[in-house]
Amino acid sequence: MKRDLEPFEKAERSIVKKYRRELWGPFIAALKRYRLIESGDRIAVCISGGKDSMLLAKLMQLLVRVSDVPFQLKFIVMDPGYNRPNRLRIEENAELLHIPAVIFETDIFDVANKTEKNPCYLCARMRRGYLYRYAQDMGCNKIALGHHFNDVVETTLLGMFYGGQLQAMMPKLHSKNFPGMELIRPMYCIREEDILAWKRYNNLEFIQCACRFTENTASGIGESKRQEIKGLLSRLRQQDPDIEKRIFNSIHSVCLDTFPGYKLGGEEHSFLESYSEK
């Protein structure tokens, strides 16, 4: 008699069976294309408690079992000051999905909420710093984050429309403040709609944005620029289903000599001198 699968077994099986083309395939493709994992790596998988980071944890667990490249994993959860229900949900999901996560606490929400100037930016920078430091203290040389295909596309448009620059989200970054540490994004080629499909198929419930700042913001007033970009892309997708794919491809096919200027290492450069009148 065939036994019923445990929730973590069902979640794992669905990744490599039902959603192999949507999840496992793009995951492996990103690892190979951007050379994200090397022999001997010690990788801290950073879990926020949302659907993206939880799926990342399961993908990495599956990978370490079958990979020909030997590497080690640590699963870390940074608590920036979650309320009790959110903290409990993260702990329950980690146990349900058999993710051996280590939780460490910080006061990031308290600090970020005391500033009136861009608390989200401060919160993001502090989170990254704490994750790097904790992972390094654990002997890791890389941290893995759960950013996906849609994050890449949205970030590209955010930089163009609101930041006044052409800037994308890299699949791999060397840390400037923590020598020897790298950041990798193994879900770089996975679409958000497929993550949601996996979540629904397995009847999983994860925390949403647990930020105190947005919790305390009146409905409709504090809508982020990212949500505006999501809405724009949704409208464009109705006319052109491949619009996001082309934006994604464009950051891999940059014609640098068609731009009058660019930045490299924080310094501004110009091509204009190359086009002086003859």
DSSP three-state, residue 131:
helix
Compute the mean pLDDT over every residue in the chain, rounded to the nearest whole number.
89
| More confidently predicted of 29 and 122 | 29
How far CA 101 is from CA of 46, 96, 190, 216, in Å, comes to 9, 12, 23, 29
Cβ proximity of 90 and 49 under 8 Å: yes
Can you give the pLDDT at residue 215? Answer: 46
167-225 pLDDT tens trace = 999 999 999 999 999 999 999 999 999 999 999 999 999 998 655 554 444 333 334 78
| Residue 269, beta-bridge partner list | 262
Can you give the pLDDT at residue 217? Answer: 43
* pTM flag (> 0.85): yes
Quote the DSSP letter at residue 77: E
- Measure the CA angle with vertex 103, ends 100 and 109; round to 5°: 145
Can you give the pLDDT at residue 36? Answer: 98
Can you give the pLDDT at residue 182? Answer: 97
Cβ proximity of 138 and 44 under 8 Å: yes
| More confidently predicted of 185 and 127 | 185
